């Protein structure tokens, strides 16, 4: 990259997650979608779930609707069975990712296929542009072995969506042109991630401590960093191994009318979503 034009992203804001519960009593940490951090356009919500106590997750997420946005489930450990009212079914295992475009409406469930042992991962909500909110629902279910992995010195990068260098991610054809990476760093290892300059971006270390930008800013496990504008994200492993979720996407800059499982552009559309769901039109 031309050193003259390179703009390294800095940490613009830090936010801590908050304890939350969803589904049938599943305990999780909500990092985006809280009073501390409402959204990072187009990212509406980020939940981290991690527990080895079956009582924290065994209730799962029984049938519930969605309309107007996309859900991304990243499994790090455990097994989750997916069903929906369109007849789709699948098993999310450790290392897999599912990108679901809810579009005009879907009713689905996500239920653990285990009663004990570690269950860990993320769910990320990504808004859809107003013109795409009523498109047909679809899934991209990606098995662990189908996710490209790039080894770069002491960095290991799983390319879930977007491009890392010349490597295209597993998830394709998403309207917000996202970048989604699972980055593991050894102590002292550095990685340089190209990203469109105008994209919104954040990172979330879920193991260890990562150094971000120039000069280096330390971001510890469990703290989300919203990044400034720029075309390069520079990360360095500090004080031992670290693992980081990195996300970027094109911001929409559109009005958001949001309530529960529906994300539309106007209150009228939101009322229509509730009416359609109650009438069984999903």
> pLDDT class for 4, splitting at 50, 70, 90?
low
The mean pLDDT value for 19-36 works out to: 97
146-172 pLDDT, tens digit each: 999 999 889 999 999 999 999 999 999
* pTM of the full structure: 0.96
pLDDT at position 199 over 80: yes
> pLDDT class for 1, splitting at 50, 70, 90?
very low
The mean pLDDT value for 105-112 works out to: 96
Q: What pLDDT score was predicted for residue 12?
A: 98
pLDDT at position 75 over 80: yes
221-251 pLDDT, tens digit each: 999 999 999 999 999 999 999 999 999 999 9
Q: What pLDDT score was predicted for residue 172?
A: 96
In Å, the largest CA–CA distance within the chain is: 58
The mean pLDDT value for 115-125 works out to: 97
The mean pLDDT value for 50-65 works out to: 97
pLDDT at position 2 over 80: no
Q: What pLDDT score was predicted for residue 6?
A: 86
Per-position DSSP letters for the chain, written without gaps between them: --TTT--B--EEEEEE-EEEEETTTEEEEEEESSSS---BTTEEEEEEEEES-GGGTTT-EEEEEEBSEEEEEEEEES-EEEEETTS-EEEE-TT-EEEEE-TT-EEEEEEES-SSS-EEEEEEEEE--GGGTTSPPEEEEE-GGGS-EEEETTEEEEEEESEETTEEPSB---TT--EEEEEEE-TT-EEEEE--TTSEEEEEEEEEEEEETTTTEEEETTEEEEE-S-SEEEEEEEEEEEEEEEEEE-------EEETTEEESSHHHHHHHHHHHHTT--
pLDDT at position 35 over 60: yes
Q: What pLDDT score was predicted for residue 97?
A: 98
Residues with Cβ < 8 Å from 193, sequence gap 6 or more? 164, 179, 181, 183, 232, 233, 234, 235, 246
The candidate with the shortest Cα–Cα distance to 74, out of 57, 56, 94, 91, is: 94
Instruction: Name the average pLDDT for the chain.
Output: 96
Q: What pLDDT score was predicted for residue 88?
A: 87
11-278 carries CATH number 2.60.120.10: yes
Q: What percent of the chain has pLDDT over 90?
A: 95
Residues with Cβ < 8 Å from 207, sequence gap 6 or more? 221, 241, 242, 243
Q: How far apart are CA 134 and CA 192, in angstroms?
A: 37
Tell me the domain boundaries of the chain: 11-278
Q: What pLDDT score was predicted for residue 65?
A: 97
């Amino acid at each position: 990259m031309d050193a003259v034009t390179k703009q390294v992203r800095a940490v613009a804001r830090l936010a801590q997650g908050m304890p939350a519960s969803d589904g049938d009593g599943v305990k999780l940490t909500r990092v985006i979608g809280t009073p501390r951090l409402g959204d990072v356009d187009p990212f509406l919500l980020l939940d981290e779930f991690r527990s080895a106590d079956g009582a924290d997750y065994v209730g799962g997420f029984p049938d519930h609707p969605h309309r107007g946005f996309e859900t991304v489930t990243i499994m790090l450990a455990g097994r989750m069975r997916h069903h929906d009212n369109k007849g789709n079914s699948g098993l999310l295992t450790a290392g897999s990712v599912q990108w679901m475009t809810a579009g005009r409406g879907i009713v689905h469930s996500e239920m653990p296929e285990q009663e004990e042992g570690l269950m860990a991962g993320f769910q990320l909500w990504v808004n859809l542009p107003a013109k795409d909110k009523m498109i047909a629902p679809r899934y991209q279910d990606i098995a662990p072995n189908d996710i490209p992995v790039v080894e770069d010195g002491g960095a290991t990068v799983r390319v879930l969506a977007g491009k890392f260098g010349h490597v295209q991610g597993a998830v394709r054809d998403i309207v917000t042109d996202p970048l989604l990476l699972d980055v593991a760093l050894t102590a002292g290892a550095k990685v340089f991630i190209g990203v469109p300059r105008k994209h919104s971006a954040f990172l979330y270390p879920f193991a260890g401590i990562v150094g971000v930008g120039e000069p280096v800013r330390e971001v510890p496990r469990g703290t989300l960093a919203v990044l400034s504008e720029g075309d390069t994200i520079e990360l360095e492993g500090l004080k031992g191994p670290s693992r980081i979720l990195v996300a970027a996407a094109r911001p929409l800059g559109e009005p958001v009318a949001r309530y529960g499982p529906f994300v539309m552009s106007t209150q009228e559309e939101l009322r229509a979503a509730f009416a359609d769901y109650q009438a069984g039109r999903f």
